[in-house]
A and B are shown apart, each in its own frame.
Chain A
Amino acid sequence: MIQLKNITKDYTRGAEKVHALGGVDLSIDRGEFISIVGPSGSGKTTLLHILGCLDRPTGGTMTIDGQTVGDLPESALVRLRRKKIGFVFQQFHLIPGLSVFDNISLPLLFSRNGNGKGENRDRIMSLIGMVGLERRARHHPNQLSGGEMQRVAVARAMVNDPEIIFADEPTGNLDTANSEKIFRLLESLHTKGLSIVMVTHNPDLAGRAGRIVTLRDGRIVSPPAGRQYLEMGGGLPLDHDMKKADIERHLSS
């Protein structure tokens, strides 16, 4: 579905050049569930934004469904985002003045994909049901818990019926119980056939994805090394509540 070949991304910070990505090769198949891990600053977010057509790489080629993205104009990327891609962020990014219902319907406004009021309504209500917020449809974000807000964000990512969801640390601001809920939600979307790419610092959740991609200094570390890397808890920030026992439990299960 998505192929990356030797993707690089440079930023200039003042006079200094930062190589956020230093040649990434990656292929994502339809229906895959991939977790991206790696230490802070290793380029996970950068990679996710390039995959999601929000950002353009400095070098290398990327194809989506056989189409080379580098040749496409901005308007085509916008259409791609509307049709195929859903985003979930660590900070939820809901609009404060809008109800749960309206927040979820927001992407329909941009995609012009709405099919008349009634049908949209049914679609949004069924998404609200899917994330278990039936009784919250008219609530505003400030009346919701963090976990509930993230469920709204997942429903919003789903409203245009995308093929792939990119989630950047979707559980980064949530406690264990809520993280679990969000992960289960992503898992259930995966079983329905969606592709999921999730950046996470949580090795517990990362280990439960179909495939783990480990980044280090803007490069993908080979899969076995990735596993070892996880096993050692290496490079992960200490504040991420890493317990070696957790990792072992999951790796052995």
Chain B
Amino acid sequence: MAFIRLAFNNLLRHRLRSLLTLVGIAASVTVLFSILSFNRGFERGLADEIRRTGIHFMVVPAGCPHEVASLVLHGAVTPKFIDTAVVERIRGAADVDLVSPMLITQVPNVERDRLDMVYGLEMSHVPEIKAGWRVEGRIPGDGAGLLLGAEVAAHDGLAIGDRIRYGEREFTVSGIIGKTGSQDDAFVYMPVAALQEILKKRGGLTAAGVKVARPERLEEITAELSATVPGIQIVTMNEVMRSLATLANSAKVLSLSIAVIAILISAVGVMNSILMAIFERTREIGMMRAVGASRADIFRIILQETVLLTAAGGVCGILLSTLGAGVIEGFVREVMPYVPSGRMIHFDPMLAAGCVAFTLVVGMAAGGYPSWKASNINPIEAIKG
């Protein structure tokens, strides 16, 4: 017989209690592992997405808050506009390959009696700046065709060929974008010129995305533009990525602290459960001392019991988190301010091992006091019971 079998046997003696304690640990590890996995996926997804939009920097109106500027790419309605003339000046600058105007706003949809989120862009730039899209139907020219985000199409029951009125003009749905899982799903995309016309804002833009011909000269190009073109502010994709990460950060910190608190609470549960077990087994511990167990032996038995319990809970938590990844991801998307498209939670064995190791450390800390207490039980009094 080995020490570990003795510990295992002890846990099995109170199946329900051990199980409940284990569920507590498993639940908190599920939360922790899910959040960490999601964060990993979040960072990777963000980098991917920005790499896919073949844009190097965004030009936004001067004075536009940085965070809002970062959200422009994903549809934020800003109070200020830049002028098409500015866009033309940037187009003329050296080493600029592509300048893609964007106008994002809300437009009244009279038929449905609400405001639609409308994203005006150069339709011919779509394959380049929205490389991740899978469009069903076709991308319209710069006339009266629309692209619909998956959610808009599904919500309104719209199909290719259906018509929508905005202001004086009537548009036809040319294509529907496959579900991206990001904010892109919630927009109606129309040619930027048409949107400007509806708004009676000829030349007004929310932002412009810029692709340079020589990315290695990115810094010099942006410096030149900032110096020569008045009224604009340049946000590079790295800055965009950083501020999106910052936006997500508070949610991350909050959720991580909740997970850690949950783990600490379940550690207290473990400690309580083991203390109860010791209290009930006082006589048995006294007997073991009499038949040759040292204090260290008793300490070891109780500590192994705790570690066994927490390790099992940790592994269950990882399994639960992996099996329930879809549900958890759906929930997190609800609460996070911005989530890149694509699946966020991927199983990472190193991360899983790290979580289990962390749980073990917490388990050992929780088991330390009960083990010490058990090893201090006076055998004589314990035997007398």
Contact = CB atoms under 8 A, between A and B. Distances in A.
A98 B9 CA distance: 7
A45 B288 CA distance: 18
B380 A97 contact: no
A19 interface: no
A29 interface: no
Q: What 5 A-B pairs come out closest when comparing CB atoms?
A: A93-B287, A82-B292, A110-B292, A97-B9, A107-B291
B135 to A, nearest CB: 65
Contacts of B380: 49, 54-55
A78 B10 CA distance: 23
Nearest to A80: B292
Interface residues of A, number: 30
A107 B293 CA distance: 8
A86 B291 CA distance: 7
A18 B171 CA distance: 102
B197 interface: no
Given A106-B1, A109-B2, A87 B9 contact: no
A105 B385 CA distance: 24
Given A91-B385, A109-B297, A110-B292, 4 more contacts: A91-B283, A106-B1, A108-B1, A157-B291
B77 to A, nearest CB: 67
Contacts of A107: 291-292
B383 interface: yes
Contact of A110 (B10, B288, B379, B383): B288
Interface of A is mostly: helix
A97 B11 CA distance: 10
A225 interface: no
A200 interface: no
Interface string B298-334: 0000000000000000000000000000000000000
10 contacts: A49-B380, A54-B290, A78-B294, A91-B385, A98-B9, A102-B1, A102-B5, A108-B1, A110-B291, A110-B293
Interface string A47-91: 001001011000000000000000000110010011000110101
Contact of B290 (A52, A96, A105): A52
B12 interface: yes
Nearest to A103: B1
Interface string A92-117: 01011110001001111111000000
